[in-house]
Amino acid sequence: MLEPSPGRAPIGGLPPSLLDRKSALPLWAQLVDELQRRLAAGEYSSAFPSELELASEYQVSRHTVREALRRLRESGMLESSRGRSTRVGRGQIEQSLGALYSLFSEVEARGMVQRSEVLELDEELDPDIAARLWLPADTPLLHLVRLRMADDEPLALDRTWLPSHLTTGLREADLSHTGLYDELAARCGIRLTGGREVLSAAVPSRADRSLLQLPRGAAALSIQRTGCLEGRPLEWRWTLIRGDRFAVSAEWSRRTGYRLGAPSARAAPGASAGVDDVLDEAADNDRV
């Protein structure tokens, strides 16, 4: 027999579907399907109902509700943490490999509000970074450190080095709501044309973990980027991205191919020891 939720108005905008208590499909599985339907319709954007509210609305036990919510959390449709109520999942930001991209643009393209907290913007000497940029060891470098936010939650910790004499205009830029590449083009007349990235798994330091609000032992993605202008290195960047909020994707074909390698690259400055294997996506010359 199909049993509606008697005597109670729906919590969201759509009326609740009926749960069939004689079905071979467990009630928790039916509830998963039902909540997926309502989530797909855009309900619960402001708040997600509590276990007690759902149990009352669908006339099921809280155990049934907990099992359904657990499955939805595993799928990423819902999120919850200790001391916080359940909410609609944000999903991952997926970045396609194979094109010059801006994290700023990717976040906004997914309808999320982005901003950056500029933690550091100064001039320094760093012989190791200078060597990566084919510059003398005593070349002054502009060092920019930003905490990248998506919908007011930490997404990435971004450290960038650029030749100071080419990028003086960036000192006046408001980098809290604009992309670095946009400002490079507008203020310095520089548009990067290509480059290379090395991706690896990383265990953040305690300080970085705190900034990213990651629990102990949580995974992060390390991206070391060399940005080039007509083949000459101009930018070296090391980004730590929360593994639960970002993913990379690639397309391949029989004609163009797709190659993964494990070069003996040096670890990024400050990276945890023991992370030695580097994932390197090497494609054609247009790849960044």
User: Any residues with CB less than 8 A from the CB of 242 and at least 6 apart, and which?
Assistant: 154, 155, 156, 212, 214, 218, 220, 221
Q: Which domains does the chain have, with CATH numbers?
A: 2-88 (1.10.10.10), 93-282 (3.40.1410.10)
Encoded tokens for 280: 């390197």
pTM of the model: 0.57
- CA–CA separation, 179 and 173 (whole Å): 10
- CA–CA separation, 195 and 57 (whole Å): 55
Q: What is the pLDDT along the chain (288 residues), one digit of tens a residue?
A: 444 444 344 444 445 567 888 888 889 988 988 888 887 777 876 788 888 999 998 999 999 999 988 888 776 677 776 556 676 665 544 444 544 455 656 666 667 777 889 999 999 999 999 998 999 999 999 999 999 988 888 989 999 999 999 988 888 888 888 888 889 888 999 888 888 888 888 888 889 999 999 888 788 888 888 898 888 899 999 999 888 777 766 666 666 665 544 333 334 444 433 322 222 333 333 322
At position 29, the amino acid (one-letter code) is A
